Amino acid sequence: MSASTFPAPAEGRFRVIRALASGWWLLLLRGIVSILFGIFAFLAPGLGLAVILGTLAAWLALDGAFTLWHAVTGRSAPAGMAQPAGARPGSGWMWLDGLLSLLAAALLLMMPIASAIALVLLVAAWSVVTGAFRIVLAWRSGSWLLGLWGALGIAVGLWLAAAPGPGLLTLIWVVAIQAVVGGALLVGLAFRLRRVHHDPTPG
């Protein structure tokens, strides 16, 4: 079997980046929504438990919906390039990411009477697992911005899991900061991918 049977690591990473770039505008929209959510969440602690839980659930649901949308759209290769065979590179991790976010949103809505610590731990688990998925996708694509986004999620999740006691007020502040910083990273990543989409040549 010749060495050419398998793509070089750089070529494989470029295929993943190219696939992500086809939906760069979704990442941009997702980043903007995330920043807007974070700004709103800073105002939410005084609005009551129902608003806090509803806001968190809505953000998780939107995050999951955007991820799944990105996973199933943009399959066409850029003009002048061959369409890759098989599944879209990296889409499996995006499916897991999106489905987990939707599941976490549903659990938040179905367990509003659970203890504050249980809700904090639920969000912590979501943050760690989705952060891990994003780091894997970052490794496959070679995107340091995507890696930072994943690392941010893991750091926030581990911090929440280590100190769940302060409750929902702390949770909403931490999630708000995560949303704003993560949204800014997504906006930056989206514009980098936009350049790849309009100039789809490696190197």
pLDDT at 128: 94
Ranges of the chain with pLDDT below 50: 1-8, 74-87, 89, 203
Other C-beta atoms lying within 10 Å of the C-beta of residue 35: 18
Domain carrying residue 182 = 10-73+89-198
Give the Cβ contact number of residue 177 at 10 Å.
15
Please count the structural domains in the chain: 1
Predicted local confidence at residue 174, as pLDDT: 84
Least Cα distance to 138 among 154, 125, 124, 126 occurs for 154
Count CA atoms closer than 13 A to 159's CA, side-chain side.
Answer: 13
pLDDT of residue 168: 67
Asked if 27 and 94 count as a contact pair (C-beta separation under 8 A), the reply is no
| pLDDT of res. 184 | 94
Report the candidate in 155, 143, 175, 173 with the shortest Cα–Cα distance to residue 27.
143
In a domain, 82, yes or no: no
Looking at the domain assignment, is residue 80 inside a domain? Answer: no
What pLDDT, on the 0 to 100 scale, is given for residue 142? 82
User: What's the pLDDT score for residue 167?
Assistant: 63
Residue 36 lies in a domain: yes
The CA distance from 96 to 81, in Å, is: 28
Instruction: Evaluate whether residue 138 is within a structural domain.
Output: yes
Select from 76, 97, 63 the least CA-distant residue to 23: 76
Look up residue 55 and give its amino acid. T
Q: Is 167 within a domain?
A: yes
CA–CA gap between residue 165 and residue 169 (Å, rounded): 10
